[in-house]
Structure 1
């Protein structure tokens, strides 16, 4: 009888571990990148790190403000960076293809005289209450460049 009880306990523990593993695997670390810099290398590094975080399983969200907001404009041409000869705009588009949500600051479009249709497909204007909620969430990692 002791053998059966031990085996049942072992199986129960195994089931709990498997269930816990599935739950942990489904929880993606949320990451919010706030990018304001107009410097190409700074933009590139921020986006390299964000792409890597996404590759490692993070759920990435990007808020582009000030000069960095121009990366989200259809008309914007960004210079490429070595060693891969990829532009920050291309890195941003890669993030979006991986499922990242990208927004420009609420002040960006009206102060640049631009409209929603001037943005890349899939990019929208951020809603301050939503961004504030993310900033106050202790589970969200924040990158600020």
Structure 2
């Protein structure tokens, strides 16, 4: 009987501490490099859900995902909502997400800052590294 009570208390303690840890997180870091629209969309959906929970989102776009940050570049609309990753990117920005392109994206795409959507800046590697190492944030990489 004592063993059952101890195990029950231990399980409750672990569940309570993991729940507390989730509450203590300030938000989400998202590093998105994938060219695939479904993968991009999943990053956007999870980011939006994080923002709706009152948490922060820091997103860095690099490689083909950087195309989402460029004015006039299209992205594929997906089922079931008929929205594209670019549309969702703009939605998360309206909800307070900080979005940047990695510093390698523009020069390797033969573009400059003038092509970026309003509100998107070029990331500074030292700041991105600092944010990724911040244990108050969960990091997702796609």
Above 0.5 in TM-score? yes
Aligned mates of 2:28, 2:87 — CA distance in 1: 19
Q: Secondary structure at the match of 1:89?
A: helix
Partner of 2:135: 138
Q: CA deviation at 1:57?
A: 1.2
Q: Does 1:89 align with 2:86?
A: yes
Q: Could you say what the CA RMSD is over the residues aligned between the two structures, in angstroms?
A: 1.1
Partner of 1:116: 113
Give structure 2 stretches of 5+ with no counterpart. Answer: 1-23
Contact 2:28/2:140 (<8 A) preserved? yes
Q: CA deviation at 1:28?
A: 6.8
Q: Does 1:68 align with 2:65?
A: yes
Aligned mates of 1:121, 1:48 — CA distance in 2: 21
Contact 2:27/2:50 (<8 A) preserved? no
1:27-46 superposed matches below 5 A:
29-46=26-43
Q: CA deviation at 1:30?
A: 2.4
Give structure 1 stretches of 5+ with no counterpart. Answer: 1-26
Aligned mates of 1:51, 1:134 — CA distance in 2: 19
1:2-21 superposed matches below 5 A:
none
Aligned mates of 1:36, 1:73 — CA distance in 2: 14
Q: Does 1:50 align with 2:30?
A: no
- Using structure 2 for the length normalisation, give the TM-score: 0.81
Q: CA deviation at 1:98?
A: 0.6
Q: Secondary structure at the match of 2:127?
A: helix
Partner of 1:129: 126
Q: Which has the larger radius of gyration?
A: 1
- Using structure 1 for the length normalisation, give the TM-score: 0.79
